[in-house]
Amino acid sequence: MGKVIAVCTSEKKGTQKVSVPEIEIVEDWGIEGDAHAGKWHRQVSLLSFDKIEEFRARGAEVEDGAFG
C-alpha cells in the first residue's frame, strides 16, 4: 500500500510548488487552485519518494515540491 508523504501545489506555472495541508480534487480538472489543473492530459502528477531519495543520496538538496 502506498503512502502520501506530501501534497504540493503552486498558484502560477513556473514557480516551485509548496506543501499544503489538504487539497480538493475536482473531477476532470485536478487540484483546485493549482496552476497545472485544467482539461488536459496531466492534471495531477505523482512522484515516487524513492526517486527523491535517490537525488538526495547524490547530494542534491531537494525539498518537497521541487519537481513538478
Give SS3 for 19.
strand
Please give the model's pTM, rounded to 2 decimal places. 0.76
DSSP structure class, residue 14: T
Q: Could you tell me the residue ranges of all domains in the chain? A: 1-12+19-60
Q: What is the pLDDT of residue 68?
A: 63
Q: What is the pLDDT of residues 17-61, one digit of tens each?
A: 999 999 999 999 999 999 989 998 878 888 888 988 999 999 998
Is the pLDDT reported for residue 64 higher than 90?
no
Q: Which residues pair with 26 in a beta bridge?
A: 30
Residue type, 28: D
Which grid cell sits at 23?
A: 487539497
